[in-house]
Amino acid sequence: MRTRVGIIGAGPAGLTLAHLLRLRGIDSVVLEARSREYVERRVRAGVLEHPTVELLREAGVAGRLDREGMPHHGLSLRFDGTDHRIALADLTGRSITVYGQQEVVKDLIAARLDAGEPIVFEVSDVRPHDAETDQPYITYVDADGAPQRLDCDVIAGCDGSHGVSHAAVPSTTHAHDYPFAWLGVLAKAPPSHSELIYTHHERGFALHSMRTPEITRLYLQVPPEERIEYWPDDRIWDELGLRLAADGFTLTTGPIMEKGITTMRSVVTEPMRYGRLFLAGDAAHIVPPTGAKGMNLAIHDVWVLAEALARYFGEGRSDLLDEYSDTCLRRVWRAQHFSWWMTSMLHQAPGADDFQRRLQLSQLRYTATSTAAATSLAENYVGLPYR
Ligand SMILES: Cc1cc2nc3c(=O)[nH]c(=O)nc-3n(C[C@H](O)[C@H](O)[C@H](O)COP(=O)(O)OP(=O)(O)OC[C@H]3O[C@@H](n4cnc5c(N)ncnc54)[C@H](O)[C@@H]3O)c2cc1C
């Protein structure tokens, strides 16, 4: 098989890239390790920045997002048992949209398959080769166990943090570990509040979020080595009730459909390119989920890559490809700082002394009461403009 762009991974990065390339008349093949059903059901992020929504609209894949996504014009910082609203739209003129990552993935898969373009699911032993030459290729084993080879002009490594692409790029990795993890819950219960609530509490951070008017997404800070078996549903609801308690707030409970623990890391790979292999999304960088940036960064990366590839294939110019890594990394580091800042402000660090806790509270109070500080949070949260 031969194509222009061989894409490894059918997450938000790989699927968005394939779609943007198709709109620019550039053919690609997407190779995915899992089944279609699996990737469409994988529950992860759910906050879309304003520029992400605009891009999906321009790309013609926002029909369902516009019907079912929930625009949010503000969020709450809850501390000392009180809500402090950050009016995202009033402060920035922009807002965010709550729409599950798996819904974005479903929309992109449907658009690609409707257009008759290939996604090869359930491949294994995927390997990029000869990225340093002008004839790179990918080998893999298909779902029937047959070895295959995909020749291409460019390889896009969109296979997340556990994929094979990252390891094929000789680069520097900057990493930071956090001394906590998130226990995430998806519950069949209407949201208890119309907006997201980021809670700083002496027992640890908690986040009230949602996916639909019937489904709540909730998170609790837990130790990084915590095991999900220690958290029966009743304990989760009790702990959420304690941390989210506030005057006039009632936590709506319901059957827990899914629960899991995600550790927190910040990782940046520099550069995001080796020869004709380009990394995008989680394959190149990971952010802690507090700033809701992971999926949004993945989509920004591939927007930059698609523009650069269009110029390369259309005009024979490689200037944008040469700038790809630097262009993406400017946004990645901004998102890293914002995610680290939100995480540090809201979580209880083990072993933190009274001095550090007072600094945290001072930062929270300043952010909640200063228009300048609230605007800084808001403009980062809704997403800085692409251009
Ligand atoms: C467990 C988890 C929970 C998260 N929760 C949140 C959250 O609550 N809030 C938030 O804002 N962000 C969250 N994130 C971050 C966000 O989901 C990611 O930033 C986003 O998925 C990045 O998209 P991506 O396309 O780069 O990578 P991914 O979504 O990881 O997609 C990579 C794709 O590549 C496939 N793949 C992997 N290896 C291979 C291979 N060798 N060959 C072929 N295909 C391969 C994978 O199956 C996958 O489909 C979470 C991430 C994880 C891992």
Contact 28, 22 (CB under 8 A): yes
pLDDT at 113: 95
- Rounded Cα gap, residues 8 and 165, in angstroms: 8
Pocket test for ligand 1, best of 34, 40, 44 (most atoms within 8 A of CB): 44
- Rounded Cα gap, residues 215 and 378, in angstroms: 25
pLDDT digits (tens, 9 = 90+) for 219-242: 999 999 999 999 999 999 999 999
Pocket of ligand 1, beta carbon within 6 A: 8-14, 31-34, 39, 44-45, 47, 101, 123, 126, 158-160, 162-164, 184, 262, 281-282, 289, 292, 294-295, 298
Among 140, 198, 312, 324, the one annotated catalytic:
198
- Rounded Cα gap, residues 256 and 261, in angstroms: 14
| Tokens read off for 296 | 């949004």
**Residue 148 domain-assigned (yes or no):** yes
- Rounded Cα gap, residues 145 and 148, in angstroms: 9
Q: Give the number of domains in the chain.
A: 1
Contact 56, 344 (CB under 8 A): no
pLDDT digits (tens, 9 = 90+) for 244-269: 999 999 999 999 999 999 999 999 99
- Rounded Cα gap, residues 3 and 6, in angstroms: 7
pLDDT digits (tens, 9 = 90+) for 13-40: 999 999 999 999 999 999 999 999 999 9
pLDDT at 288: 96
What separation in Å is there between the alpha carbon of 351 and the centre of ligand 1?
31
- Rounded Cα gap, residues 367 and 116, in angstroms: 49
- Rounded Cα gap, residues 113 and 22, in angstroms: 12
**Residue 303 domain-assigned (yes or no):** yes
- Within 10 angstroms of residue 189's Cβ, the number of other Cβ atoms is 20
**Residue 232 domain-assigned (yes or no):** no
- Rounded Cα gap, residues 378 and 214, in angstroms: 27
Query: Is 259 a known active-site residue?
Result: no
For the chain, 387 residues long, give each residue's pLDDT as a single digit of tens: 999 999 999 999 999 999 999 999 999 999 999 999 999 999 899 999 999 999 999 999 999 999 999 999 999 999 998 999 999 999 999 999 999 999 999 999 999 999 999 899 999 999 999 999 999 999 999 999 999 999 999 999 999 999 999 999 999 999 999 999 999 999 999 999 999 999 999 999 999 999 999 999 999 999 999 999 999 999 999 999 999 999 999 999 999 999 999 999 999 999 999 999 999 999 999 999 999 999 999 999 999 999 999 999 999 999 999 999 999 999 999 999 999 999 999 999 999 999 999 999 999 999 999 999 999 999 999 999 997
The DSSP annotation for 159-199 comes to --TTSSTGGGS--EEEEEEEEEEEEEEEESS--SSSSEEEE
In sequence order, which residues have a C-beta less than 8 Å from that of residue 358 and are 6 or more positions away?
none
**Residue 143 domain-assigned (yes or no):** yes
CATH code, domain with 15: 3.50.50.60
The DSSP annotation for 306-345 comes to HHHHHHHHHH---HHHHHHHHHHHHHHHHHHHHHHHHHHH
Atom of ligand 1 nearest to the CA of 286: 19
Among 200, 293, 300, 347, the one annotated catalytic:
293
Query: Is 289 a known active-site residue?
Result: yes
**Residue 204 domain-assigned (yes or no):** no
| Tokens read off for 186 | 């998806």
**Residue 28 domain-assigned (yes or no):** yes
Which residues of the chain form beta strands (DSSP E)? 5-8, 28-31, 47-48, 70-72, 75-79, 82-86, 96-98, 119-120, 124-129, 137-141, 147-151, 154-157, 172-187, 196-199, 206-212, 215-222, 256-270, 273-274, 277-279, 285-286
pLDDT at 387: 79
> What pTM does this model have?
0.96
Instruction: Report the mean per-residue pLDDT for the chain.
Output: 97
Pocket test for ligand 1, best of 109, 159, 215 (most atoms within 8 A of CB): 159
**Residue 360 domain-assigned (yes or no):** no
Among 12, 19, 50, 72, the one annotated catalytic:
72
**Parent domain of 13:** 5-72+97-174+265-342
Contact 31, 138 (CB under 8 A): yes
- Within 10 angstroms of residue 54's Cβ, the number of other Cβ atoms is 16
Say if strands 206-212 and 215-222 run parallel, antiparallel, or are unpaired: antiparallel
Partners of 196 in beta bridges: 75
Q: At what angle do helices 319-346 and 354-369 cross, to 10 degrees?
A: 110
What separation in Å is there between the alpha carbon of 115 and the centre of ligand 1?
24
**Residue 155 domain-assigned (yes or no):** yes
